[in-house]
Amino acid sequence: MNNIVARLIIGRLGIGVLTLLIVSLVVFILTGLLPGDAAQEQLGQEATPEAVAALRAQLGLDQPVYLRYLSWLGGLVTGNPGVSLVNGMAVDDLIASRLPNSLKLAAATALIAVPLALTIGIVSAMYRGSIFDRYTNMLAVFLVSVPEFLIATIAVLIFAVKLGWLSALSRSVEVDSFLELLSVYAMPVLTLCCVLVAQMARMTRAAVIDQLSAPYVEMAVLKGARPVRVVLRHALPNAIGPIANAVALSLSYLLGGVVIVESIFNYPGIATLMVNAVVTRDMPLVQACVMLFSLGFLVLVLVADIIAIVSNPRLRT
C-alpha cells in the first residue's frame, strides 16, 4: 500500500519538525547561558550603565526570555532571523553571501566522495580477504584515525609550500577556468574526502558483506550467477537501506568537518562565518548558523530514511 509509505514519510517529517523545535530551544537557552552580554561587548568596558541599558532595550535584550524566544522563532520561520549585533547587517544577508560557497564545497566533496566510497566498499566486499581488500581496509583505518587538521596541514605543506602548485588559502571563490577551480577546491575537498571516503567505504563494505551471507545469495550462486551479478543484482538492492544511512551519516559529518577545513584554508563559507560570530558573540548569527547546520543534518537523515523505506518492497507494496 502506498499510503503506508506516505504515512511513514509524513511521520518522519513530523518527527523532524519536532526535533528542529527542540534544537531551537536548546540553542536559544545555551547561547543565552554563554558569559558576556552583547550590549556590554559592543560598547566596551568603559560604557555607562545607562548607555548599556539603552542598547539592551534597543536590541530587545530586556524582554522576558520566552518572549525573546518566540519572536526569534517567529523570525526564523518567516525568514527573518534578525540583525547581526556586530555590524548591524541582516543575518539572512550575511548567510546568503556565504552559504553558496559552503554548498559548493560540500557538493564537490560529495560528488567525488560518494561514488568513490561506494565503488571501493562494494569491490572490497566482493573480494573480501583479497590483497585489495586488506590494503584498502588498512588505509581506511589510517585515514579515519588521522584528524583532518593534520591532513590539511600536511596537504598545505606538500602542495603549497614544497611543490608550490596550489595556494595555501582559498581567498578567491570566483573561478574562471578549470585550473583555478582546481586550485581553490583541491585541498579542502581532498582533506574532507580522506575521512569521508574511508568511513563510507567501510560501512558500505559491511552492509554488502552482511547481505552476502544471506541464504538467497547462496541460492543465486547455485543458480549459476557470477560474482558480479550476485553482488550487483542480489546483494546490493537489499543493502541500499543501510548504505543510504551510512552515506547520510558520513555526509552529515561534512557539516562539522567544514568548520575545521574552512578555518584552515580560510575558505569564505558558512562555517568561518559561524566561527567568527562565536568569537564576537554575535548571538543572532550563531543561532541562525547552528539552526542551519541542524536543518542540514536532519534533511540528510530524512532523505536516507526515505530511500530506505522506498527501497524495501515489504514497505513499498
**Cβ 193 vs Cβ 116: under 8 Å:** yes
Provide, rounded to whole angstroms, the least separation between the CB of residue 29 and another protein: 37
Provide, rounded to whole angstroms, the least separation between the CB of residue 310 and another protein: 12
Q: Does residue 4 touch another protein according to CB under 8 A?
A: no
Count of residues that interact with another protein, criterion CB under 8 A: 23
What single DSSP character describes residue 299? H
Q: Which is nearer to another protein, 225 or 295 (CB)?
A: 225
Window 215-244: residues binding another protein (CB under 8 A) = 215-216, 218-226, 229, 233-234, 237-238
Looking from the CA of 87 toward its CB, the CA atoms found within 13 Å total 10
Angle at 66 between CA 63 and CA 70, to 5 degrees: 100
Contact pick of 21, 104, 214, 272 for another protein (by CB under 8 A): 214
- Say how far apart CA 91 and CA 97 lie, in whole Å: 10
Q: Which is nearer to another protein, 134 or 229 (CB)?
A: 229
- Say how far apart CA 90 and CA 166 lie, in whole Å: 35
Provide, rounded to whole angstroms, the least separation between the CB of residue 220 and another protein: 7
Provide, rounded to whole angstroms, the least separation between the CB of residue 5 and another protein: 14
Cα dihedral 191/192/198/199 (nearest 10)? 150
Q: Which three cell numbers stand for residue 69?
A: 524566544
Region near another protein per CB under 8 A, out of 183-191, 198-206, 210-218, 297-305: 210-218
Q: Does residue 307 touch another protein according to CB under 8 A?
A: no
Q: Which is nearer to another protein, 102 or 238 (CB)?
A: 238
Is residue 36 classed as helix, strand or coil in its secondary structure?
A: coil
Provide, rounded to whole angstroms, the least separation between the CB of residue 214 and another protein: 7
**Cβ 169 vs Cβ 265: under 8 Å:** yes
Q: Does residue 130 touch another protein according to CB under 8 A?
A: no
- Say how far apart CA 220 and CA 243 lie, in whole Å: 22
- Interface residues toward another protein, by CB under 8 A: 213-216, 218-226, 229, 233-234, 237-238, 311-314, 317
